[in-house]
Structure 1
């Protein structure tokens, strides 16, 4: 997953997130939540997943790489642009590659060590945990980062009173482990 925003000439210029399994000899474009199908004017990417147009707010993009488990891969962002219209470009941040398996791992560790209540929440979400030094990130359902706090310790609260009613995603990270919880604000 990664945070991204972009301003790219629509229907002509584009960015693709690509994977190579052969040390860069060839590249495979990847489909994400915010990619769309390339058009006939996007040379070399017709009907392939890509980013173009305007996305002015940061969004949390997620791409499933499970087809590449147990393989050495290279990743890249490829930007293709003509000389006609110049826009701001493509920005990304917080790129993370998460490996999940069926053993007692990330989900079980977080679930066993964090108690979140009440859910649904009206004003204050309580977090009870024996874990020291964990990070919180709160996202809107559209993927916009609303709140971030690092180095929380033990029990904690998050003030939801300033947020509109709806569904939010709370990401908790500790010791290179992460889990996202769906929190409903009433």
Structure 2
């Protein structure tokens, strides 16, 4: 049962922004772990639909004195969607949508030290920034997630990426795996990443550099997820649901299969045909063995919603074929008999 917590809350003070003829509001906040400072993303607009002008910026306030300290960015035409402070209070990072940049400030000097462009000028789609996390193990390493047109792998625009502030380099985690970049939570002393949204959840194994799990959240409310490091469980929320859940790295992906397909010995063909009602022009799929190791990945033209895969070259055994269909992951269990 969730109690009404309003009775336990009190307002200590309020700080805000001047209007300047534009209606402003705070969209996100990050609290400095060392100083009494709040870093906020400010979003504003003026006019009426369809003639609306929007502006956004990043500002700093002292939450004890309620004083405005400074703006870290000028008032711009795009919205900052993610803001994060490192655990040691050294750095602040932001991401914005559409024409995305990763910006990092040194909080000792308030100097902008990283301004990494994440889009290409002739991009065919807007960037979608989802999350930022600073590594607590590797100095000067940042994890970012989302959909970026300028990225480390040409085939994969979406995912979770590491960014090194020392080398100014970026790399997609599990470069060939098919998964989307969403909310990031660290597991098991930063050896795994739990990657969650309302439509899909995934687990990236950082030590083995593989996609350990990817599938539909099913009954798990995963729109927003908080992980308790001390107790090793998650709290997930979505619409009017809230739930506590666990992740067991030894659990079997068979719990989420759409269908079991058996390939009998010759003379039966080793081709399988799966009827899909997908709208994507390209079907992205991958094949994992029974241990979760990826053995093949490809993209094919969508032929009237039908996916055909040749299993001739694979030895007898159990495989899992995962395909992204209508932005949803679907997994099929393939049993190739001897």
Quickly name the TM-score band, shorter chain normalised. Answer: 0.3 to 0.5
- Compute the TM-score of the two structures, normalised by the length of structure 2: 0.25
Q: Larger Rg: 1 or 2?
A: 2
Larger strand proportion of the pair: 2
Q: Return the structure number with greater relative CO, CA threshold 8 A, min gap 6.
A: 1
- Compute the TM-score of the two structures, normalised by the length of structure 1: 0.42
